[in-house]
Amino acid sequence: MKRDHQTRELYYASLGIDPRDVVRVDQIHSRSVLVVERSRRAARGQAECTSDRVAGDGDGLVCAAGGPWLAIGVGDCVPIYLADLRTRAYGLLHSGWRGTGILESGVRAMQRAFGSSAADIAVLLGPGIGACDYAVDSARAQAFARWGDGAVVRRGGIRYLDLFAANRNLGDRLGVHSVVSVTNSTYATEQFGSYRRQGGAGYTGMLAMIGPHAQDA
């Protein structure tokens, strides 16, 4: 854990980001989304705070314009970036097979907290594990089929999950007009960390981040 902390601190420094301006969550593979209400400027003003801060248990964060940087750890799960083009509220979600559906939690949280409209929210998916690489057993495939057409793909008697198709389908149901996917699979692209490809011991964790619009900072 100490090494993870040091690695994050070095990464923030390389981007010129004050770690006190970063909020993250203790991820639990859920559909829980937390609203970050404190401004980045208030966080920076805390003399006792010298590193990024954890908002609580969950797998997503949303905040109003001018808020802090948001960060989540990802590997094969899909990071989902949310940006309200009208209010400039934004969010970041962690969506694996257990957490698929968190997009709805994120959109609903932005609607309640910031008056966002689903039609104004732009969504970016990925990178995450591709459907060609995510083979699962029949029970998991059957449970995941609830997410609509293309969420489960069968090839040669093997069932694969398509996290991207599932989230695109959900975006359509929610009335999100703009959903863009990064096509690179973390499993197949060695520049990315992949839990399935590398295994638990040698797994290279990645950090997804989103921050405020430059004019709001």
Structure confidence by residue, pLDDT tens digits, 169-199: 999 999 999 999 998 999 999 899 888 888 8
Rounded CA-CA distance 49/122 in Å is: 32
Rounded CA-CA distance 141/163 in Å is: 12
Is the separation of the CB atoms in 120 and 82 below 8 Å? no
Domains in the chain and their CATH numbers? 2-129+179-216 (3.60.140.10)
Q: What share of the chain is helix, strand, coil (3-state, %, to 5)?
A: 30, 30, 40
The pTM (predicted TM-score) of the whole model is 0.92
- Predicted confidence (pLDDT) per residue in 98-149, tens digit: 999 999 999 999 999 999 999 999 999 989 999 999 999 999 999 999 999 9
Peptide bond just before 127 cis, omega within 30 deg: yes
- Predicted confidence (pLDDT) per residue in 31-59, tens digit: 999 999 755 544 445 545 567 899 999 99
Rounded CA-CA distance 153/136 in Å is: 10
